[in-house]
Structure 1
Amino acid sequence: MTERNAMRVGDAERDQVVDLLQHAVGDGRLTMPEGRERLELALAARTYADLDALVADLTPVLPSMADDVTALHPFNRPLDQVALPGESRQPGWSPDDPLVISAPFDDDRRVGEWSLPPYIRVSTGLGGATLVCLEATAETRVIRIEVAGGAGDIRLILPAGWAVRADRISKGLGGVHIRVPDRPAPGAPLLELIGSVTLGSLVARPANVIDRWLLRRRQRRRQRALEA
């Protein structure tokens, strides 16, 4: 066994393999039973050798922390290393050019299949902003959302496993209601919220019955459009 294979791994390395395995099941490269078995082994892995064996037929071996982190997918990079040449052309890939979601007068609602880049700015005036992430893709493991709340409410509707940390949000008359964990499930993102709310409220919650019904309706409409 080489020196690298004997090295101990941590949660970051385990999460990376869990993410790869989940995508392999989704792509059909692994069956559901194979995926469940490998996920259990990944969560119990202690060394790089343990993890490499689980993805050897799916991807090159897992890089060690000493390897160049820029070789990793953006989801697995630290937040300060995601804005690399050739990947910062769209808004949201640099803290100086965030994806802006603004509701100065009318409501702004993001729903369906959309992407959350690592840097987002959400501002409200008289209108409110709703980010429905049930079909969204998190491009990075940590997403930093700058909040500038006015009179309108800001709502985040999140899939199971997504987490929110809002201890850097200052409050005026509006409230902050976080109804999801502050630690993400393996392979899920963490949304770090900074900024302030004044008159409106900030709410982060899982899907309720109505959200799930609307989700199924959107999915049925897309399916019918494909079959037409």
Structure 2
Amino acid sequence: MPIEPRVRISDDDRDRTVQRLQRAFAAGLITREEMDDRLELAFTARSHGDLAPAVADLPDEPVDEVVELNSTSGRVKRAGDWLVPRRLRIISGYGGANLDLSQTVIDHPEIEIDLQLAYGSATIILPSGATANADAVVTNWGNTTCKVPGRPTPGKLHVRVTGQLGYGHVKIRYARKPFN
């Protein structure tokens, strides 16, 4: 459904446009001067019609793809410096998932992690200040524990956790502080 040009934009609309301009500049599609002009346009726009010219001549952004990590009988583990996709699906028959996002590269203000675990649990470790919402997780024989704030905070990562667990639990927390 097309967006009506007279509809007012939100901060999220403006942020997405700014990020798109930054990616276009990094890819060499626009010059520094064009970037400055377009950013000014984006920051002063009030409606979708005002915002559209800032990106009108740029190529369409690729559609978000879902990155799937599959395991039949082992745990899916990711830690350290890794690039987190905007949408990540973990599928496992007899295993769980350990996802440490505390030292990762995350190019998106919001990411989605979809857990499809038949027999297994998941632990998701977030960077300091990140928020998470796990209301869409269904567990048949287990529970969901989220030890971080659930409401998004402007300028901080927000993680939406969804999915289905047959036998297992989900724990979302910050990284533990090292002992001195």
Please report the TM-score for the alignment, with normalisation by the length of structure 1: 0.55
Structure 1 runs, 4 residues or longer, greater than 6 Å off: none
1:100 partnered with 2:75: no
Partners of 2:53 and 2:166 in 1: CA distance: 39
Residue matched to 1:166: 134
* AA matched with 2:109: R
Are the structure 2 counterparts of residues 162 and 69 from structure 1 closer, same or farther at C-alpha, using a change threshold of 3 Å?
farther
What SS does the corresponding residue of 1:198 show, helix, strand or coil? strand
Shift of 1:125: 2.5
1:132 counterpart (96, 100, 104): 100
Aligned pair count reads: 151
Structure richer in helix, relative to its length: 1
What SS does the corresponding residue of 1:61 show, helix, strand or coil? helix
Q: Using the aligned pairs only, state the percent identity.
A: 24
Residue matched to 1:68: 52
Are the structure 2 counterparts of residues 158 and 70 from structure 1 closer, same or farther at C-alpha, using a change threshold of 3 Å?
farther
Residue matched to 2:166: 198
Are the structure 2 counterparts of residues 156 and 62 from structure 1 closer, same or farther at C-alpha, using a change threshold of 3 Å?
farther
Shift of 1:189: 2.1
Unmatched segments (≥5 aa) in structure 2 = 1-7, 20-34
Higher RCO (CA 8 Å, separation ≥ 6 residues): 2
* AA matched with 1:87: P
Please report the TM-score for the alignment, with normalisation by the length of structure 2: 0.67
Indicate the RMSD between aligned Cα atoms, in angstroms. Answer: 3.6
Q: Is the 8 A contact 2:95 2:117 kept in 1?
A: no
Unmatched segments (≥5 aa) in structure 1 = 1-7, 21-55, 72-83, 214-228
What SS does the corresponding residue of 2:91 show, helix, strand or coil? strand
